[in-house]
Structure 1
Amino acid sequence: MAVAALSTVVEWYDFTLYLYFATVLSRVFFGGGGTSLALTLGGFAVAYLMRPLGAAFFGHVGDRYGRRRMMLLSMALMTAAMLATALLPTYGSIGPAAAWLLLLLRCVMGFSVGGEYTGVVAYLLEGARPECRGLVTSSAAAASEVGALLAAAIAALTVNAMDTPALDSWGWRIPFLLGAALAATVWIARSIMQESPDFERQAAGGTVPTNPLRHALTHHRAAIARGFAISALGSITYYVGITYVPAFLASASPMTEGEALWLSTAAALVVILVTQVTGSLSDRYGRKPVLLAVCIAAAVLPITLFSLMAGASRGWATVGALVLAAVGGAMSAVGAVATAEQFPGEGRLSGLALGATTATAVFGGLAPYLAQELMGRSGWPLVPGAMIAVVALCVLPVFLTMPETRPAPNRPRA
């Protein structure tokens, strides 16, 4: 379980590095100019559309042949894609073809990550004691944020350690080479993992579904819909409220690229702390009350927080970014366990692929691009906050009517 959680650090470092380096990559691969940042964020969005496909593929592997085999396969694919990205030619070398190659590799990474996160969440949930499932499963969200923290910190160090010509010429490759090396190391570590006890139960009892996707669609339609709603809010609070923030600050506030990245590093620390607290609260009070509290915060706070970040004061911008990060981290924590508990062990990964991962593709991958476009067209810097608030209000009725999934103290594990 420790290897599963820690290895998620590397997978998410590799995937989120692109967003933290968005302004640099817009120059290196898209030639700079007024539309280059929007095109770079569009590449992030397109790659996210591969996540449901990857989740369906890896979900089938995990539900049919085991969680361990699925996680080894996804990490191998991520390692290869990260190394290839580090070695890509730039716009200055081959012109627009550089951007297309980058997009292709981003799609491979999106395909890989599609199965990674749901696989780790299921693995941790199935190995945890019922009374601490929230805390243990939330470590997947914490580990992914550690990966994002590492990506933000390495990006900030790289940007601040060299001048722009050196950064655009060769410096941008360093964080991607580091990610490839870390991913290869984690693949070796994952080879010692044991299989999930829940999948071993299925194998021993002969209940492993032969067609996991069909099984999930036949028996768990309501759970898929609830997982979609939970993940929709979790995705937009995370990807608009946390990972999009450096690009927002660089374009809508007086902060420099380096300052925005350092603030994102601080925000990642807040998320890691909030994640564990929220997981514990969901074990004590239940998933539903915590979901409702975070949903209300997401409906009320973001517009004000983006207003603070768009202002002239660096101090208030810092407050806005850190509070917004706390909301996103809390939603990621309770969302991880709440979505996984919507399904029994049989077909769990495929159910998560159909519900949670599909929502992430729409409300995670497309949201930063849409926020940048709408903000540019309207001239209103509070568009990202309004987007989060609207999604929160839309999913609130689902949270109000959904059943509690926290195991009773004397209930055996599923």
Structure 2
Amino acid sequence: MAAIAHTPARRLDDHPPISRGSLTVAGMSTIIEWYDFTLYLYMTTVISRVFFGGGTGGTAATLLVFAFTYLLRPVGAAVFGHIGDRIGRKPVLLISMALMTVAMLVTALLPTYASIGATAGWLMMAMRCLMSFSVGGEYSGVITYLVEGAEPKRRGFITSLASAASEVGGLMAVGLAALTTSFFTGPDLDSWGWRIPFFIGAIMAGATLLMRSRMDESPVFEEEDEDDKATNPLVEVLRVEPGAVARGFAISALGSITYYVGIGYAPTFLQNAGEFSESDALWLGTAAAVAVILVTPFAGMAADRFGRRPILLLFGVLAAVTSLTMFQLMASGSRGAALTGALVLAAVAGGWSAVAASTIAEQFKSKARMSGMALGFTTATAIFGGFAPLVGERLIEMTDWKPAPGAMIAIVALCVLPVVWYQKETAPAVVENETH
């Protein structure tokens, strides 16, 4: 505990930057994580037929598996956070990507419900468990690596590129899902067409693993003496910096629900509530992914220039006041209205996530930074990301009120905004100006 308590706060800013090549590989490799998870959501209706027998019960089972397996993310975060704080950031990024490669490859080879019945669903759930466990340390490991390796005054922009890259993964997922459902129909889609996007994901993950093997280790971690490292990082960060964990949880909660409900769940919502076809809903999702990619780097640069707090407050207010209306537009059945709703929701989610990445990591000034970030980030994601699409679907069924998912986002935004209002500014350039 003493090791954490005596860690100087300037350590995060007092180090040589990581090479551009290593930063690029780390930032761009988040493509794989989000490609897989959004692919599963975008292909919910297909997976429900292929693995769970189809119908309303099949859709519910598909979303339940997504939600249940998300509970393994905090478990993976605890394991990988310990490895990252004790052994290094690079080993975490290598192990997690290796497991993700295996999970996607095996998923592409799974037998279907038509072949082996309900066992197919259980096998799919096993692969989702492996993926969730491995992803537990993936995103937090990448953000920790980027925050520790980027130039302090460009940290918001650099870490926002990881968020943008993840949206590239989402764009690839929705685009390939749309192409798959457009070119393959009926028996061909359900027997083998659905496998193609998962095979592509496995190939990309394997290539990323090779590139990560050439990355540098974080200079902040390399500067630490063995005696200074936390013996039990997870326990010690909870003892020393519980407030930072709580703030990270809150910030991640809004980021998770805006992304997984406002973007990931949107195609399923458009099909069920807006009565769009599978391919039309996925093409609207593709447009939303493009919007996120365009917004994200500008939000990161604005956070470096004006501070994390004001930009988070801006997107938090937008989430609170626009989400309900945007879901109403998407449920209207009008293509133009649905596109407007999807684009606005995507822009808000992308802007918040871009700034949240650096903000959460900067909450921690201890040498258990990765454990603290992983704990706050992944616990919130498991609750507000994994379960949110299922809850949204159930609320619509129970109340017959189609905009219910938008109300969920608005409520979480209203709860999180006070946390952002009272937190201290962490952007290095803004803090330096305030000091002088």
TM-score range, shorter chain: over 0.9
Q: CA deviation at 1:207?
A: 2.2
SS at match of 2:349: helix
User: Could you tell me how far apart the structure 1 residues matched to 2:35 and 2:250 are?
Assistant: 26
User: Could you tell me how far apart the structure 1 residues matched to 2:353 and 2:364 are?
Assistant: 18
**Paired amino acid for 1:216:** V
Matches within 5 A, 1:135-214: 135-203=157-225, 206-214=227-235
Match of 1:2 in 2: 24
SS at match of 1:371: helix
Q: CA deviation at 1:219?
A: 1.1
CA contact (8 A) 1:283 1:406 kept: yes
CA contact (8 A) 1:130 1:409 kept: no
Q: CA deviation at 1:206?
A: 4.3
User: Could you tell me how far apart the structure 2 residues matched to 1:308 and 1:357 are?
Assistant: 31
Question: Which of 52, 61, 80 is residue 30 of structure 1 equivalent to?
Answer: 52
Match of 2:132 in 1: 110
User: Could you tell me how far apart the structure 2 residues matched to 1:215 and 1:202 are?
Assistant: 17
User: Could you tell me how far apart the structure 2 residues matched to 1:75 and 1:86 are?
Assistant: 17
Question: Which of 309, 325, 343 is residue 288 of structure 1 equivalent to?
Answer: 309
2:250 is aligned with 1:229: yes
> If the length of structure 1 is used for normalisation, what is the TM-score?
0.97
Match of 2:259 in 1: 238
2:111 is aligned with 1:89: yes
Match of 1:311 in 2: 332
Q: CA deviation at 1:386?
A: 0.2
**Paired amino acid for 2:397:** G
Question: Which of 147, 151, 155 is residue 129 of structure 1 equivalent to?
Answer: 151
Q: CA deviation at 1:96?
A: 0.6
Q: CA deviation at 1:12?
A: 1.8
Match of 1:253 in 2: 274
**Paired amino acid for 1:123:** Y
Q: CA deviation at 1:356?
A: 1.4
Gaps of 5+ in 2: 1-22
> If the length of structure 2 is used for normalisation, what is the TM-score?
0.92
Choose 206-215 or 354-363, whichever is displaced more: 206-215
CA contact (8 A) 2:307 2:430 kept: no
Q: CA deviation at 1:409?
A: 6.5
**Paired amino acid for 2:391:** L
2:268 is aligned with 1:216: no
Percent of matched pairs sharing the same residue: 59
Q: Deviations over 1:37-64 (max 9, x none)?
A: 1110111111111111111111111111
**Paired amino acid for 1:336:** A
Q: Deviations over 1:79-135 (max 9, x none)?
A: 111111111111111111110110111011011111000000011111111111100
Q: Deviations over 1:298-317 (max 9, x none)?
A: 11000000000000211111
**Paired amino acid for 1:209:** A
How many pairs does the alignment contain? 410
**Paired amino acid for 2:159:** T
Question: Which of 39, 44, 50 is residue 72 of structure 2 equivalent to?
Answer: 50
**Paired amino acid for 2:48:** S
Q: Deviations over 1:149-190 (max 9, x none)?
A: 111111111110122210001101111111111111111111
Match of 2:297 in 1: 276
**Paired amino acid for 1:359:** A
User: Could you tell me how far apart the structure 2 residues matched to 1:44 and 1:410 are?
Assistant: 40
SS at match of 1:376: helix
CA contact (8 A) 2:276 2:333 kept: no
Question: Which of 345, 356, 366 is residue 324 of structure 1 equivalent to?
Answer: 345
CA contact (8 A) 1:199 1:345 kept: no
Q: CA deviation at 1:214?
A: 1.6
Q: Deviations over 1:52-78 (max 9, x none)?
A: 111111111111100001100000011
CA contact (8 A) 1:302 1:324 kept: yes
Choose 207-216 or 322-331, whichever is displaced more: 207-216
2:379 is aligned with 1:358: yes
Match of 1:401 in 2: 422
**Paired amino acid for 1:316:** A
Question: Which of 353, 359, 370 is residue 338 of structure 1 equivalent to?
Answer: 359
**Paired amino acid for 1:264:** G
Match of 2:8 in 1: none
CA contact (8 A) 1:249 1:309 kept: yes
User: Could you tell me how far apart the structure 1 residues matched to 2:248 and 2:184 are?
Assistant: 44
CA contact (8 A) 2:306 2:430 kept: no
Match of 2:11 in 1: none
Q: CA deviation at 1:345?
A: 5.2
CA contact (8 A) 1:198 1:345 kept: no
**Paired amino acid for 1:34:** T
CA contact (8 A) 2:75 2:136 kept: yes
CA contact (8 A) 1:59 1:350 kept: yes
Match of 1:119 in 2: 141
